[in-house]
Structure 1
């Protein structure tokens, strides 16, 4: 596993919107993740991990 991807995974677990922003930029994925994090934390983390690990 590449070091950058490992760091993005760690950031996605600790601060999901930041991880999504670093991977996908400011777009629909970031808005979805912020809404999920405001409603529930776990779906926000799962979404962030999905965004960070997809190619």
Structure 2
């Protein structure tokens, strides 16, 4: 089941990066880093979100 959850999290990370990280970590520091990177640019937010979800 965790493989399916990770797949859904990655799809959410591509569509809206902070949302995917929020579902994985909640309002922890990873979420706020992702929000900041997404504000700087969509691609850095996606890259960080996928990294954070799969690490």
Settle same-fold status: TM greater than 0.5. yes
- Give 5+ residue unaligned stretches, structure 2: none
So what's the TM-score if we normalise by structure 1? 0.90
So what's the TM-score if we normalise by structure 2? 0.90
Ranges of 4+ aligned residues in structure 1 off by more than 2 Å: none
User: Pairwise CA RMSD of aligned residues?
Assistant: 1.2
Structure 2 counterpart of 1:39: 40
Q: Does 1:30 align with 2:31?
A: yes
Deviation at 1:27, TM superposition (A): 1.1
The aligned length equals 54
Q: Distance in 2 between matches of 1:4 and 1:12?
A: 12
Q: Distance in 1 between matches of 2:5 and 2:30?
A: 20
- Give 5+ residue unaligned stretches, structure 1: none
